[in-house]
Amino acid sequence: MTFLQAIALLAVAAGGTAVVATRDPLRQVIVTGFFGLLLGILFFVFQAPDVALSQIVVGGVALPVMVLLTLAKLRERARSRADE
Amino acid sequence: MSRRTRLSLFGVAAVLLAAVLADGLGGLPAFGGYHGIYGILLSHVTVAQRRATDVITAITFDYRGLDTMGEEFILFAASLGLVVLLREQRDERRQPDDSPDQADDPDRYAGLPPHRPHTSPALIAVGRWLIGPVLVLGIYIATHGQLTPGGGFQGGVVLAGAVILVFVAGGRLATAPIRPTGAAEVLEAAGAGGYVALGFGGLIAGARFLTNFLPLGTKGSLLSSGTIASLSVVVGLEVAGAITLIVSEFVDQRLLTGRHQ
């Protein structure tokens, strides 16, 4: 195992812990996005650039956007309930 | 169940799990050790057989092309299911769309209710600047899968990322010119149908389904590797359409309000 690979593995472990330790869903989405980018770097360092490309876009962009939109919808619903 | 019973149950389970894990980890091959005969064989013969320099793309779209067709239709079915689930329900109504010139209107915060989402000018500027490069990158990755790392799936997702940037930076989420649901449906259907059509091409050429029947070309040129490049492009269309459709449906949900009795 090279030095870079060890660093990437440690960064992913720290990132995963950070996602679990974040309690507020909105902040958690952002942390999840960074965790996705870290996973992309991990795949790249382990010589899987094809997988890294998918991971960066899916984990760093597509997934956070979907969760963000869901959170926005839930917030809207809670607000319209409070209005009535 | 009392706290004590739960703890002792957890203790037993944890010890068992630790034993099984330790046994399994002990039997793993050494770090970096790889003994898959199929993979070693393919990494030697692919460039000569298919003139594709990215072996992974050649495996995905040629040697295991049928599996990729199944995966493509998994995404197809998933996006269709999402469209059905997130359709406009009976007790929901559409909010009035944002006015088209809202993004450029400096006073737009003034007349809106306080909880109305607004896009920061910095986000609009950076997002608009990024749309073009991301679009070009997506097309590049989807069309160069046979040469360099990437291919249809990765390129398609990057293309959908460009559409997401339009949503993020546009500031006008639901106005007609950039509601891409219809275009995304056409793209997705064309991509999924194109894969099957290319598969039947092998039958027409007198061989099996998904046989690489197109001329292989020269190694390293854009038009090489026969059907691998074409299949990669149609998968790019399918994935770009599917992800765009999924994100558009989520954005539409954001704009629907229900009565929630």
**Cross-chain CB nearest to B260 (options A61, A62, A80):** A80
Locate B188 and state its tokens: 């997705």
Q: Which residues in chain A are closer than 8 Å to B228, comparing Cβ atoms?
A: none
pLDDT band with cut points at 50, 70 and 90 for residue B254:
low
Exposure string (b/e) for B135-148, b if CB count within 10 Å is 16 or more?
A: bebbbebbbbbbbe
pLDDT for B96 equals: 53
For an interface test with B, the pick among A76, A79, A80, A84 (most B C-beta atoms closer than 10 Å) comes out as: A76
Contacts of A35 (CB under 8 A, 6+ apart): A12, A15, A16, A18, A19, A59
The string of DSSP codes covering B190-243 is HHHHHHHHHHHHHHHTTS-TT---S----TTSTT-STHHHHHHHHHHHHHHHHH
Cβ of B157 within 8 Å of Cβ of A58? The answer is yes
pLDDT for A40 equals: 94
More confident residue, B257 or A15: A15
pLDDT for B50 equals: 85
Q: Contacts for B199-208 with beta carbons within 8 Å, 24 or more apart?
A: B199/B65, B199/B69, B201/B227, B202/B227
The model's pLDDT over B181-193, given as tens digits with 9 standing for 90+, comes to 788 888 899 999 9
pLDDT for B103 equals: 46
**B216 C-beta neighbours (distance < 10 Å), count:** 16
8-state DSSP, B106: T
For an interface test with A, the pick among B140, B144, B164, B232 (most A C-beta atoms closer than 10 Å) comes out as: B164
**Cross-chain CB nearest to B157 (options A62, A66, A73):** A62
8-state DSSP, B176: G
Residue of B nearest to A70 (CA): B250
Q: Which residues in chain A are closer than 8 Å to B253, comparing Cβ atoms?
A: 69, 73
User: How far away is chain B from the Cα of A52, in angstroms, using its nearest Cα?
Assistant: 9
More confident residue, B239 or B119: B239
Please, is B68 exposed, middle or buried when counting C-beta atoms within 10 Å of its C-beta (0-12, 13-18, 19+)? Answer: buried
The mean of the pLDDT values for chain A is 89
**Cross-chain CB nearest to B160 (options A62, A72, A77):** A62
- Say how many CA atoms lie within 13 Å of B72 toward its Cβ: 32
Cβ of A66 within 8 Å of Cβ of B149? The answer is no
Report the C-alpha gap between A48 and A38 in whole angstroms.
14
User: Cα dist. B154→A51, B38, B176, B232 in Å?
Assistant: 8, 24, 28, 10
The model's pLDDT over B84-138, given as tens digits with 9 standing for 90+, comes to 888 777 666 665 544 444 444 444 444 434 344 566 788 888 888 998 999 999 9
Cβ of A80 within 8 Å of Cβ of B258? The answer is yes
Report the C-alpha gap between B145 and B138 in whole angstroms.
11
- Say how many CA atoms lie within 13 Å of B103 toward its Cβ: 20
**Closest C-alpha to B228, from B214, B208, B209, B238:** B214
With a cut of 90, say whether residue A29 has pLDDT above it: yes
Amino acid letter for position B213: F
Report the C-alpha gap between A59 and A64 in whole angstroms.
7
The model's pLDDT over B39-66, given as tens digits with 9 standing for 90+, comes to 889 888 888 888 888 888 888 898 888 9
- What do you get for the CA distance between the two ends of chain B, in Å? 37
Per 3-state DSSP, what percentage of chain A is helix, strand, and coil (rounded to 5)? 90, 0, 10
pLDDT for A8 equals: 94
Report the C-alpha gap between B227 and B213 in whole angstroms.
7
Q: Using CA atoms of A17, A21, A27, A28 in order, give the dihedral in degrees to the nearest 10.
A: 60
ipTM above 0.85, yes or no: no
The model's pLDDT over B161-208, given as tens digits with 9 standing for 90+, comes to 888 888 777 655 444 455 667 888 888 999 999 999 999 988 888 888
Report the C-alpha gap between B31 and B39 in whole angstroms.
17
Cβ of A66 within 8 Å of Cβ of B250? The answer is yes
Q: Which residues in chain B are closer than 8 Å to A49, comparing Cβ atoms?
A: 149-150
Report the C-alpha gap between B78 and B93 in whole angstroms.
25
Interface list for A 28-57 with B (CB within 8 A): 49-50, 53-54, 57
**Cross-chain CB nearest to A50 (options B56, B254, B260):** B56
Report the C-alpha gap between B232 and B150 in whole angstroms.
9
